Structure 1
């Protein structure tokens, strides 16, 4: 294979990417971005890779979540804070269930571009190019709004930098104090609707009280006030990714400076395609979405291409099949990984295979289908003797009504109340936390199974 250069992807087949009409404007933006500081640093990416390696061995668990597609119009400090807050609550509950560290990775500070099922859409007899995310074009259904605009990459960079700045402040400035986070969670379980989760919340309270009595208070132990929080996104717009790619002087490797972790989508995982070519050369951990059309042979090629050194934590396989379909597809992919002895971290994305159109016309995801796919994922790994390494959700800290079900029983009729997503429906704050409690139960069961097997 030829020596990797960050521009090699330009010689490969490209899909799901815009055709810019003004090449001079594009060149200007790329040159400007190339002068900007990277958004993340190589040491952070290496640390995340080690933690994902621990998740692959069952010594940690990945929680990855955030927006389907970040919006310029809805960008605010409150929105960032609320999603961060819910992810901390989810992580605390998952930590209690798994009894291992939870690796927190947001779909934030870079999740601006979206693949689409069709290049155009038709409304009222008018056909226009599809909306591909705020980093490329605009949601308004007009010919002008749908023209790809390279200057949007500069706005995306600015928003990503501001988001990371705030996330770092929240992570280290006391907002992440473990006692404060648990008080938020207790507020959720005090509701009659969420009373079924109160027992676990009370057990977490008892554990924290014991720690305090033993002298492990957040005033004496700074680590109880801070968290490590990482960012991730689908590396779809490769002009943006290349412009922010930097050579790490410590290792001599290339860093995707746009985010700590990047992933390749189910529509862009062609082994000889542009997206795989870019991702194979960076030192960052890389995710690979695996859907129903992923074949064992294709997966084996991708395992070799994306992680030729078979490095732990380098490659995360994100399974997204749909409720009731994992048993048909996941075992054959697990077998393919085992046949080549590949190191991977298995993660469940129960969102993308469970999107339906409601009777009221809104795209939605029924909570019970999301939960079913998570349970299927754990059951299959239990049967195969492999390790479920994490979960990947599209979610928000806002009180939206985009997915049906959950303890507050969002109905199809409720969807129009607060349906704010520009692309796919997201779990709201209460649905996200409820799911964390249910995943924690699965992790507790797995931990007990492992302990029983070890003692027998």
Structure 2
């Protein structure tokens, strides 16, 4: 359940993050009036409801107690031009199938999509060099459709804050399609819960509204913070600390137990069930060494967090011709290690986090329907990270189900 604003929390405001160092924010050109854009966003209708947010929190609490399983899956980075009735229907159908495959009807499935807002991407470098013929041009990195365009030229890569409004309208259209497809299929009016990385706080802030005494991010059910921005004293943690939505945090092998305990304290001071979803992304070779101390620190501090495995992001490597990829075998090794560690600690495994495509892409190596390294180029269409194709995703989910219930 969401919490009402306490006396201490009353000092928090959606813009409190501005007083803290905040990473991964683009440098918007000065010719645009950001205040006008923020005002327009602030006047836009809510995309999700308080009831839906509470329902998701209840589902996460059940998963943390071992009474449900979460599937959290979708695109690495949504594209504006991908919003269509057939496309959204395909994504919703895939999410439901993955949820059913993970649980096998043994426990309820909590289905969360990286959908209706996953438009921003953090980048390790602000720019890159583009080689064309005999010339070399420096262009800004692609930061997702909410910031700039994927086309590799200086003009397209210039951050454009008007895209914040475009992102909202594309998310709203996606939500409308989700609700339309969900009629008669779910007790939740969206059919699936929505989630995105709360990376661009100038977008999240205007969509944060006071509803029945609680500050809620009304742009998504589950905002999450990535490992690059999970700094306890940073702007992203400051922002998330004041909203009543359930929250997810990416946890890496480089996260120290003390840091994670500090993050949990900031985000979950009341130790509320359903408040925190911790997404481990360690890598197959590091999960066994990194996870035990982190899980012990969270439990020792009294947080009833749900732990789910993201086997994608810790297992990325560069293949031929500079293409990033992941090997399905490494994904399964990480899942197996994750399950083994938490089971030995008597902590429920709460679910699985995947980046998936609805098309038969060739971006990850191995598994059914997957290419070898030389075959990556056949249908490598991602604008950012490599995704599993449907057959690979179903295989990983089926193997995870086997590990959980064998």
* TM-score, normalised relative to structure 2: 0.93
Note the C-alpha offset of 1:316.
Answer: 0.7
| 1:309-365 residue CA offsets vs partner (Å, 9 max, x unmatched) | 110010111000111210110001011112212110001111111111112431111
Structure richer in helix, relative to its length:
1
Partner of 1:158: 169
Quick one: distance in 1 between partners of 2:224 and 2:331? 21
Give the one of 15, 34, 44 matched to 1:7.
Answer: 15
**1:80 is matched with which residue?**
88
In structure 2, the residue matched to 1:236 is: 199
Q: CA deviation at 1:78?
A: 2.4
Is 1:37–2:45 an aligned residue pair?
A: yes
Q: What is the aligned counterpart of 1:170 among 163, 181, 203?
A: 181
Aligned position for 2:149: 138
SS, match of residue 270 in structure 1: coil
- Whether 2:391 is the aligned partner of 1:439: answer no
Matches within 5 A, 1:305-320: 305-320=266-281
User: Is residue 269 of structure 2 the alignment partner of residue 330 of structure 1?
Assistant: no
Secondary structure class of the residue paired with 1:420: coil
Q: Which residue, out of 270, 281, 292, partners 2:253?
A: 292
Question: What SS does the aligned partner of 1:146 have?
Answer: coil
Q: Give the one of 97, 107, 125 matched to 1:118.
A: 125
CA distance in 2, matches of 1:155, 1:288: 26
How many residues are treated as equivalent by the alignment? Answer: 394
Residues 179-203 of structure 1: per-residue CA shift (max 9 Å, x gap): xxxxxxxxxxxxxxxxxxxxxxxxx
For 2:32 and 2:148, how far apart are their aligned partners in 1? 18
Which of 14, 26, 29 is equivalent to 2:34? 26
Question: Which residues of 2 match residues 181-220 of structure 1 at below 5 A?
Answer: none
Q: In structure 2, how many angstroms separate the alpha carbons of the residues matched to 1:437 and 1:88?
A: 14
How far, CA to CA, are the matches of 1:40 and 1:226 in structure 2?
10
Shift of 1:95: 2.3
Shift of 1:23: 6.2
Structure 2, unaligned stretches of length 5 or more?
1-7
Residues 103-129 of structure 1, C-alpha deviations (whole Å, 9 max, x = no match): 000000000000011111112232222
Indicate whether 1:245 and 2:208 are aligned. Answer: yes
- Corresponding residue of 2:4: none
Match of 1:106 among 100, 107, 113: 113
- Aligned-partner Cα distance in 1 for 2:94–2:82: 18
How many Å apart are 1:298 and its aligned residue?
A: 0.7
Structure 1 segments, 4+ long, off by >3 Å, are 225-228
Distance 1:95 1:319 in 2: 20
Give secondary structure in 1 for the equivalent of 2:334.
helix
1:344 is aligned to 305
CA 134–157 in structure 1, closer or farther in 2 if over 3 Å, else same:
same
* CA apart distance, 1:246: 1.0
Separation of aligned partners in 1, 2:371 and 2:181: 30
Of residues 21-30 and 307-316 in structure 1, the stretch that sits farther from structure 2 once superposed is: 21-30
Task: Give the distance between the partners of 2:366 and 2:291, measured in 1 at CA.
Answer: 26
Contact residue 83 and residue 173 of structure 2 kept, 8 A? no
Gaps of 5+ in 1: 177-222, 446-456
Residue in 2 that maps onto 1:383: 344
> Is the 2:62–2:274 contact (alpha carbons within 8 Å) kept by the matching residues of 1?
yes
Which residue of structure 2 aligns with residue 398 of structure 1? 359
Cα deviation for residue 437 of structure 1 reads 1.1
SS class of match (1:165) = helix
Distance 1:226 1:164 in 2: 10
More displaced 10-residue stretch of structure 1: 359-368 or 384-393 = 359-368
In the alignment, which residue of structure 2 is the partner of 1:218?
none
TM-score (norm 1): 0.83
Cα shift at 1:144: 1.2
Distance 1:379 1:165, change over 3 A: same
